[in-house]
Amino acid sequence: MLRVIFHLDMDAFYASVEQRDYPELRGKPVIVGASPDRRGVVCAASYEARAFGVRSAMPSRTAQRLCPDGIFIRPRIDAYRSESRKIMERLTALGGEVEQVSVDEAYLDMSHRFEVFEKAIAIALGRQMKDLIRDERRLTASIGIGANKLLAKIASDHGKPDGLFCISEEEKVAFLRPLPASAIHGVGKVTAEALGKMGLWTIGDIQDYKGDLRAVAGSFALKLKAYAFGDDDRPLDLDGEIKSISAEETFERDTQDRRILVPVLKDQARDIAAKLIKERLAARTVQVKVRYSDFKTLTRQTSVEEPFETPDEIYAIACAILRRERLVDRPLRLIGLGVSGLVPPSTQMVFNFCR
């Protein structure tokens, strides 16, 4: 069945809205988030600030050290959400199904516009979307186009910022070959390192590999191989409501070494916190998932009364679960971390975050 999927990713969305609304900020390193003289984190950074290494979910004090001339802006969450609604409504009016992944990111299924996948027509439609956003909202977006969500996302990443890129069915295998394995959806830092130790540094290496990938990818092995060839049958999720956020890593060798597990858990907590911050959500439940060498998988969770959103809180609750349930009493093949029970942050949380 013919599919033509577009992936739209607004460029440095929060910071770009600030630079649009306040022209004196244009071309300057804008950091949206907590003031560096208070305990808090970065919500978003302009490309000028990113050039200094500033990233979302980074402590604001760290951001200031990296970018001393950075201009810290208190987030205007209502303004960003309002802008997001206007953009998504405009895209929806073009027809087709829309999966809004986050406040600044969406997939669009525009298959109804095509009888066959014609690259020139797809690029023309992508240009129309970009022009609408630029002319009506005075913002820029990167758009990727492909026959599925995987290719569309890789294409939009390839063109950032303010890019437009299309990967056709005929081109996909050759285009993917030189890309790093980490470009594949679902390949995190630990899995990428484990693949590298097997000599599988690029997607092309995975395409050519004839062995069993389950040793490093577990149950993800079959999907990993399919993704390496640009095949992805995931449908668009039209619900639009984020119910949970999670991350997991499969180890090259089973381990219960704290020197390996602690950095992985901290990275997962940071990634999850960054998504919570981006969506202006908090969570009430932390879930830990472990898989052992015999493929036995356990999940345990803890819910708390007060919502949380910081990496330190997520990590601390995860560690408490691991200790309480004695989940690391033998080597692990996989460890995962997730949050659910998502709610808007309380007024006090927003106040603490923004100050």
Task: State residue 343's pLDDT score.
Answer: 86
Among the listed ranges 115-129, 168-182, 188-202, which one has the minimum average pLDDT value?
188-202
Q: What is the residue extent of each domain of the chain?
A: 1-170, 174-228, 244-354
Q: 12 with 151: CB under 8 angstroms?
A: no
Active site residue 105: yes
Structural fold of domain 244-354: Dna Ligase; domain 1 (3.30.1490)
> Mean pLDDT score of the chain, rounded to an integer?
91
Q: 77 with 350: CB under 8 angstroms?
A: yes
Q: How far apart are CA 25 and CA 168, in angstroms?
A: 38
For the entire predicted model, the pTM comes to 0.79
Phi/psi at 108 (5° precision)? -125, 130
Beta-carbon contacts of residue 197 (< 8 Å; ≥ 6 apart) = 252
Q: Is 245 helix (H, G, I), strand (E, B) or coil?
A: strand
Among the listed ranges 15-19, 48-52, 99-103, 145-149, which one has the minimum average pLDDT value?
99-103
Q: How far apart are CA 285 and CA 304, in angstroms?
A: 6
Q: How many CA atoms lie within 13 A of 330 on its CB side?
A: 9
Task: State residue 240's pLDDT score.
Answer: 64
Q: How far apart are CA 288 and CA 280, in angstroms?
A: 22
% of residues, the chain, pLDDT over 90: 70
Q: Tens of pLDDT along 308-317?
A: 888 899 999 9
154-185: b (≥16 Cβ within 10 Å) or e: bbbbbbbeebbbbbebeebeebbeebebbbbe
Q: Tens of pLDDT along 143-161?
A: 999 999 999 999 999 989 9
Is the pLDDT score of 351 beyond 70? no
Task: State residue 64's pLDDT score.
Answer: 96
Phi/psi at 245 (5° precision)? -135, 135
Is the pLDDT score of 95 beyond 50? yes
Class of domain 174-228: mainly alpha
- Asked if CATH classification 3.90.1170.50 holds for the domain at 1-170, the reply, yes or no, is no
Q: Considering the candidates 99, 105, 249, 313, report the single residue annotated as catalytic.
A: 105
